[in-house]
């Protein structure tokens, strides 16, 4: 529109807009606003891709969608709605995943600019790599409540999306989830694991039965405390070693026809009694109280209990209501899973009512058992579904900045495309939109955009299998799609992207294929046009330690000195092993998408350049309990002062940003791409750090 009217834009810009081709990845809250802005600005050719369908909860902020569109493709409906603003624009919509093999480097090379409006890290990483290889500028954007961020990524000029590590959720120990929950979030994670055990994709790390290997319970035999009253979980046998031999939870449920009374008594009575038999756990804790299906609290008003209360999401359900929801959801979920093709499973979704109700009911009952304060279904959904309320105005402002950055890129004014942060409150300069002072330069040690990308992999080569190397390290951690791996010194292929070519290797341990300490693996993903060297560092992993650790800087391999933390000392003498101060940033990854809001007093260690904020105090976030990985990235050999700060850490999934620093002080942006800090001063104000992926 605007570009077709002479005089609105300068002639040069007008011609650039008319000849441009843009790709919008994502048609959610930001994507809808971006598409509307592009259409009204007169961009003539736009392609948009999104795999998602429209949900009722999207309608409060994604204004291209209406109630009649629920269940339809977001990309297709966004195209139809946008054309009503300007029918002269050519818009091509794809209801597909951007990670699909149809969208390789050649596809991305068709566009002048790519605009990201995604909601998950894997897709962001993939688009980042595609744009780097296609030499196409990428504009990354995201929002978190009232905060937003827009940044340009251009190969060789700025940091890429993966140059700076993203803070992720902290894993809870399995024994905490299974044996000794102390917060509602523990109960929610347990309930989500129970859903997967019964209806979803099963994972050994998501076992919900009592953990007899809990270190706190060692030295006693659970059966020795058994009074015969059902303390042993039903369906379980105890081996001579004292371990419980578990039957498959889903098969057991099927054998019992998903009977609500049988399942309820197993999970909330028998298993709890078994936990009580592990007396060491309750020496300093208040023991849980088992509850049976025929308990008076569950029978209370149950006969007259109408399902209308299930719509009262801001109300804390009673135990009777939880039992009614549990029974109702079991029927619905059982029907859903039986309608699937053999081998398929349900995927938990916060917007799937039976799945969300099931988790809310189970979490509430378990919270009652462990005497943990319960919350409403609405609050449970916010914790389980990683929800930070989306603000439509924030999306609109962020999308406007995206289009302004797009115009600068078309004019080749790359130096003007500095990252922009949107704040809830004005900074001392009376700014709500705060730009960086300079472009953030690429990280020379980045394992994606560096000239010769390489990482060190600390791993127990006697315990990790080739299949785990492929799935957990290369795909989930490094975000490769179809990797090929060979041993550099021998030229032997150990993992192939060709189906069944190396299937015989999958169950072998790394050391069986001579992948031992010092070996270099050459990894290649043809689809992403991405090559990476992995240097193996063998380590004997303990049971509670991660099975592997990705190290992006070889200096991290040096032994850590044990020093005493001192807030007044300069930290140049070496890293501290104290609980609250570290020189390295450790990021624990899991493949689960859970997160929450944590407010805490913390100490951050920041360097002079390429600063990384290290969250080191004890935080608890929603996660899938995993024992798989840790990523460690070190700073350079520069002295690092310690800074006392009060922080707010927020991890989100929906329309996310990377990191925003909000401060009452006048803190100028540094050369850091995703962290804005100042030189250490004697007095520091209260700051908010938002870590978002």
Q: How far apart are CA 600 and CA 374, in angstroms?
A: 22
- Known binding residue 27? Answer is yes
For 411, the enclosing helix (H) or strand (E) is none
Catalytic residue flag (residue 175): yes
Q: Which of 32, 175, 187, 523 is catalytic?
A: 175
- Known binding residue 50? Answer is yes
- Known binding residue 630? Answer is no
Contact 139, 383 (CB under 8 A): no
- Known binding residue 455? Answer is no
CB neighbours (10 Å) of residue 311?
Answer: 9
- Known binding residue 59? Answer is yes
Q: Is 538 helix (H, G, I), strand (E, B) or coil?
A: strand
- What are the beta bridge partners of residue 435? 420
- Known binding residue 688? Answer is no
Report residue 666 as tokens.
């006048």
Q: How far apart are CA 361 and CA 207, in angstroms?
A: 19
- Known binding residue 449? Answer is yes
Q: Which of 612, 436, 678 is nearest to 687 (CA)?
A: 678
- Known binding residue 54? Answer is no
- Known binding residue 28? Answer is yes
Q: How far apart are CA 449 and CA 532, in angstroms?
A: 10
Angle, CA of 205, 209 and 212, to the nearest 5°? 90
Contact 231, 222 (CB under 8 A): yes
- Known binding residue 119? Answer is yes
Q: How far apart are CA 180 and CA 690, in angstroms?
A: 30
- Known binding residue 74? Answer is yes
- Known binding residue 32? Answer is no
For 37, the enclosing helix (H) or strand (E) is helix 29-41
- Known binding residue 61? Answer is yes
Report residue 391 as tokens.
């603000």
- Known binding residue 121? Answer is yes
- Known binding residue 98? Answer is yes
Q: How far apart are CA 677 and CA 665, in angstroms?
A: 11
Residues in contact with 677: Cβ distance below 8 Å, sequence separation at least 6, in sequence order:
606, 611, 613, 661, 667, 670
Residues in contact with 65: Cβ distance below 8 Å, sequence separation at least 6, in sequence order:
32, 54, 58, 59, 74, 77, 78, 81
- Known binding residue 30? Answer is yes
- Known binding residue 653? Answer is no
- Known binding residue 160? Answer is yes
CA distances to 140, 513, 672 from 165, in Å: 15, 31, 12
Residues catalogued as catalytic = 175
Binding-site residues sit at 26-31, 50, 58-61, 74, 97-98, 119-124, 160, 163, 446, 449
Question: Annotated binding residues for Zn(2+), as ranges?
Answer: 160, 163, 446, 449
**Annotated binding-site residue numbers for ATP:** 26-31, 50, 58-61, 74, 97-98, 119-124
């Amino acid at each position: 529109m605007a570009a077709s009217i002479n005089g609105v834009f300068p002639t040069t810009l007008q011609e650039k807009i008319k000849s441009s081709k843009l790709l919008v990845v994502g048609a959610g809250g930001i994507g809808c606003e971006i598409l509307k802005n592009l259409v009204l600005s007169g961009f003539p050719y736009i392609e948009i891709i999104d795999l998602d369908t429209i949900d009722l909860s999207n309608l409060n902020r994604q204004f291209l969608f209406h109630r009649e569109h629920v269940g339809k493709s977001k990309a297709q409906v966004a195209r139809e709605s946008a054309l009503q603003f300007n029918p002269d624009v050519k818009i091509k919509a794809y209801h597909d995943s951007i990670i699909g093999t149809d969208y390789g480097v050649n596809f991305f090379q068709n566009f002048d600019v790519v605009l990201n409006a995604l909601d998950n890290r894997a897709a962001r990483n993939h688009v980042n790599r595609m744009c780097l290889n296609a030499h196409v500028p990428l504009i990354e954007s995201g929002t978190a409540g009232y905060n937003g961020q827009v940044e340009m990524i251009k190969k060789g000029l700025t940091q890429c999306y993966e140059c700076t590590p993203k803070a992720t959720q902290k894993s809870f120990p399995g024994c905490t989830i299974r044996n000794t929950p102390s917060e509602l979030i523990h109960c929610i994670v347990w309930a989500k694991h129970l859903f997967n055990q019964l209806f979803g994709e099963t994972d050994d790390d998501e076992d919900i039965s009592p953990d007899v290997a809990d270190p706190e319970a060692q030295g006693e035999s659970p059966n020795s405390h058994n009074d015969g009253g059902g303390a042993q979980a039903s369906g379980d046998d105890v081996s001579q070693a004292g371990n419980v031999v578990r039957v498959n939870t889903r098969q057991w449920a099927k054998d019992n026809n998903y009977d609500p009374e049988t399942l309820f008594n197993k999970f909330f009575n028998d298993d709890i009694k078994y936990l009580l038999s592990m007396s060491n756990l309750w020496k300093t804790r208040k023991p849980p109280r088992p509850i049976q299906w025929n308990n008076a609290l569950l029978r209370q008003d149950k006969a007259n209990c109408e399902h209308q209360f299930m719509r009262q999401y801001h109300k804390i359900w009673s135990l009777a209501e939880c039992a009614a929801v549990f029974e109702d959801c079991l029927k619905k979920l059982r029907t859903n899973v039986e309608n699937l093709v053999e081998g398929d499973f349900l995927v938990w979704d916060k917007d799937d009512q039976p799945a969300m109700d099931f988790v809310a009911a189970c979490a509430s009952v378990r919270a009652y058992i462990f005497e943990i304060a319960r919350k409403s279904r609405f609050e449970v959904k916010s914790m389980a579904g990683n929800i930070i309320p989306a603000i439509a105005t924030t999306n609109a402002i962020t999308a406007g900045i995206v289009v302004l950055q797009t115009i600068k890129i078309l004019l080749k004014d790359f130096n003007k495309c500095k990252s922009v942060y949107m704040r809830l409150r004005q900074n001392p300069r009376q700014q709500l939109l705060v730009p960086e002072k300079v472009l953030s330069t690429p990280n020379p040690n980045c394992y994606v955009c560096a000239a010769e990308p390489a990482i060190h992999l600390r791993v127990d080569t006697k315990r990790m299998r080739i299949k785990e190397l492929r799935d957990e390290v290369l795909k989930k951690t490094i975000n490769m799609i179809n990797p090929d791996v060979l041993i550099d010194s021998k030229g032997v292929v150990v993992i192939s992207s060709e189906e069944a070519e190396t299937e015989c290797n999958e169950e072998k341990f790394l050391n069986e294929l001579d992948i031992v300490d010092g070996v270099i693996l050459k990894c290649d993903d043809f689809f992403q046009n991405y090559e990476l060297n992995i240097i193996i560092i063998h380590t004997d992993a303990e049971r509670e330690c991660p099975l592997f650790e990705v190290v992006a800087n070889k200096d991290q391999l040096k032994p850590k000195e044990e020093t005493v933390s001192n807030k007044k000392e300069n930290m140049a003498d070496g890293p501290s092993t104290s609980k609250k101060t570290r020189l390295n940033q450790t990021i624990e990854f899991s493949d689960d998408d859970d997160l929450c809001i944590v407010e805490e007093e913390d100490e951050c260690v920041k360097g002079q350049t390429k600063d990384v904020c290290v969250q080191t105090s004890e935080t608890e976030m929603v996660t899938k309990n995993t024992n798989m990985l840790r990523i460690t990235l070190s700073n350079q050999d520069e002295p690092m002062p310690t800074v006392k700060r009060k922080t707010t850490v927020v991890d989100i999934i929906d329309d996310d940003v990377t990191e925003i620093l909000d401060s009452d002080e006048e803190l100028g942006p540094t050369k850091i791409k995703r962290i804005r800090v100042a030189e250490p001063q004697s007095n520091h104000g209260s700051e908010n750090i938002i870590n978002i992926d």
